[in-house]
Amino acid sequence: MTVQETRSIHFPFDNSYARLPDRFFAKLKPSPVRAPQLIRLNEELARHLGLDPESLSSPEGVAILAGNRVPEGAEPIAMAYAGHQFGHWVPQLGDGRAMLLGEVIDRSGVRRDIQLKGSGYTPFSRSGDGRAVLGPVLREYILGEAMAALGIPTTRALAAVATGEQVAREELLPGAVLTRVAQSHVRVGTFQFFAARGDEEALRLLADHVIERHYPDAFRSDIPYRALLDKVVARQAQLIAQWQLVGFIHGVMNTDNMSIAGETIDYGPCAYMDSYHPDTVYSSIDHMGRYAYSNQPGIAHWNLSVLAQTLLPLLGEDEEAAVAEAQEAINAFPEKFKVAYLTGIRAKLGLVKEREDDADLAQGLLNCMGENNADFTLTFRRLCDASAASTENDRGVRELFADPAAFDDWAVKWRQRLGDEDSNDDMRQSAMRMVNPVYIARNHLVEKVIKAATEAADFTPFDQLMTVLALPFEEKPEQVRYSLPPEPEQVVLQTFCGT
Ligand code: AMP
Ligand code: MG
């Protein structure tokens, strides 16, 4: 007879959000699932959080990751929040299918939420069932980890567990639970929740909580809440610029999906664009293209103005002065975004020096890509090889353009500009290869691994894709198929929400 070994699992919880007043959340327990099975554990992240991967993979650990068991020190809560969904005000949303188990301090000293997503019914579930479907769980796992590997702030996936249960959507689909790790799950919508209720005390407590957690410097400022707003504006400007620079389209930039800590959060119908078209939309629910690629900076700006509005009671006694503070903070977004974007696009083009018309040069390339159906990621990656005085290595990049001569015309201007730089070709090319990824989580690849997992319970393609995406800047000849754009018959035009 074999005895199944269970070790006692220690989560070094140090919960702060659960100390806030009761109206910030609902205390609850996850709902158990029938037959939990570990799909993948992010061992490196586990260790970083001070957790033991081996015990987390044991039956007892998997029971925790599935919500069948609550670890010692956890205080499961569903957080309250509101939000604007596609511009429409919804006074109460909240964690309808997620619960925060607690917080740990990671090896770098950063406080991290550990949350189960898909763990069952909560008081915020409204008409939902509190469950998550395997496909979207894998999508969030893949895209979130790919984002982290690109060096872009994001929530992380600690684990994915299959529940052994079916979830009823338009059809019956396999269920799963994702364990998500975030600097915090406080959203613009969390502030909206209390602002809409006129609960100034809660607003202040929430603002103090996030300042202490994410922006402690703000306490030293004359108006800490103004400093908080400035810092959130700055982080979002940086984040959205980074999305634009890798062609990422979030898909549902509702205010409840915008993190105060400045991380990419709530991966739903998100995707990376293949060929460059600024109006690209993948989400099946985004009929008007509100969250199209090119709209993302403007939407972030709008969401931040909503945040600013919620902070008005904290920005000054005098309403007029408070509005002026808020306005000034929000008005800084476009310039901050522009600076972050320009810095990034210069690096992508191999430029170190700053020249007045660099933005035009970059825009010229993008326009040319749009007109010639050129692949976003590969164009920049192959530009690294071409980055020399001679046109000798232009073949790879120019063949991505429907009319290669259009690229040649642009490249003349680019080479003139490169002539201004002090770097030698080798130095410049290797610097460019560190900012222009070769592997992104391309939609057709993501769909394929999800299909294998959900239809044939085959997780090997998923694991292989995760391995490739972990090192997005290191080109390996045997992985070439992961770098290529979809063939016409592989193109995925629509992505679907997790719900
Ligand atoms: P999302 O589209 O994932 O950002 O979710 C928007 C809102 O709907 C949030 O309040 C979620 O908690 C809630 N929600 C999404 N899916 C479900 C579900 N299956 N059951 C309950 N609530 C859900
Ligand atoms: Mg959400």
Condensed to tens digits (0 to 9), the pLDDT of residues 144-200 reads 999 999 999 999 999 999 999 999 999 999 999 999 999 999 999 999 999 999 999
- How much is the mean pLDDT over the chain? 96
Q: 250: Cβ below 6 Å to ligand 1?
A: no
> Are 302 and 203 part of one and the same domain?
yes
Which of 341, 372, 391 is at the close of a domain? 341
Predicted local confidence at residue 427, as pLDDT: 96
Question: Checking DSSP bridges between strand 37-41 and strand 88-90, what pairing results, if any?
Answer: unpaired
94 lies in which domain range?
A: 4-182
Structure tokens at 467: 């391995």
Measure the CA–CA gap between 359 and 427, rounded to whole angstroms: 23
Name the E strands within 91-225: 98-105, 111-117, 132-133, 156-168, 172-182
Residue at 128 is within a domain: yes
Residue at 286 is within a domain: yes
> Are 253 and 326 part of one and the same domain?
yes
Q: 3-state class of 100 per DSSP? A: strand
Residue at 234 is within a domain: yes
Q: What is the CA angle 33-38-44, rounded to 5?
A: 130
Predicted local confidence at residue 498, as pLDDT: 60
Q: Is the pLDDT of residue 493 over 90?
A: no
Please name the residue that has the structure tokens 């567990």: 161
> Are 18 and 153 part of one and the same domain?
yes
Structure tokens at 106: 């990671």
Give the distance (Å) from ligand 1 centre to CA of residue 103. Answer: 22
Taking a 5 Å cut-off on Cβ, the residues next to ion ligand 2 are 257, 266
> Are 298 and 320 part of one and the same domain?
yes
Cβ–Cβ under 8 Å, residues 485 and 453:
no
Q: Which amino acid is at 302?
A: W
Which of 138, 158, 182 is at the close of a domain? 182
> Are 49 and 159 part of one and the same domain?
yes
Condensed to tens digits (0 to 9), the pLDDT of residues 191-209 reads 999 999 999 999 999 999 9
> Are 141 and 289 part of one and the same domain?
no
> Are 154 and 54 part of one and the same domain?
yes
> Are 203 and 335 part of one and the same domain?
yes
Residue at 427 is within a domain: no
Q: 3-state class of 247 per DSSP? A: coil
Residue at 377 is within a domain: no
Active site residues: 256
Predicted local confidence at residue 3, as pLDDT: 39
> Are 329 and 254 part of one and the same domain?
yes
Cβ–Cβ under 8 Å, residues 210 and 260:
yes
Give the distance (Å) from ligand 1 centre to CA of residue 97. Answer: 6
Q: What is the CA angle 317-322-325, rounded to 5?
A: 140
> Are 42 and 169 part of one and the same domain?
yes
Predicted local confidence at residue 499, as pLDDT: 52
Predicted local confidence at residue 313, as pLDDT: 97
Condensed to tens digits (0 to 9), the pLDDT of residues 310-357 reads 999 999 889 999 999 999 999 999 999 999 999 999 999 999 999 999
Which of 341, 359, 380 is at the close of a domain? 341
> Are 61 and 173 part of one and the same domain?
yes
Predicted local confidence at residue 241, as pLDDT: 99
Residue at 310 is within a domain: yes
> Best substitution site from 25, 88, 90, 97 to test ligand 1's pocket, by max atoms within 8 Å of Cβ?
97
Residue at 448 is within a domain: no
Q: 189: Cβ below 6 Å to ligand 1?
A: no
Give the distance (Å) from ligand 1 centre to CA of residue 291. Answer: 18
Q: 263: Cβ below 6 Å to ligand 1?
A: no
Condensed to tens digits (0 to 9), the pLDDT of residues 36-65 reads 999 999 999 999 999 999 999 999 999 999
**Ligand 1 atom closest to Cα of 167?**
19
Cβ–Cβ under 8 Å, residues 160 and 177:
yes
Measure the CA–CA gap between 358 and 340, rounded to whole angstroms: 13
Predicted local confidence at residue 317, as pLDDT: 87
Cβ–Cβ under 8 Å, residues 458 and 452:
yes
Distance of CA 371 to the CA centre of its chain: 29
174 forms bridges with which residues in the sheet?
166
Predicted local confidence at residue 189, as pLDDT: 98
Predicted local confidence at residue 4, as pLDDT: 42
Q: Which amino acid is at 169?
A: R
Q: Is the pLDDT of residue 223 over 80?
A: yes
Q: 96: Cβ below 6 Å to ligand 1?
A: yes
Q: How many domains does the chain have?
A: 2
> Are 177 and 193 part of one and the same domain?
no
Cβ–Cβ under 8 Å, residues 41 and 57:
yes
165 burial via Cβ count (<10 Å: 0-12, 13-18, 19+) = middle
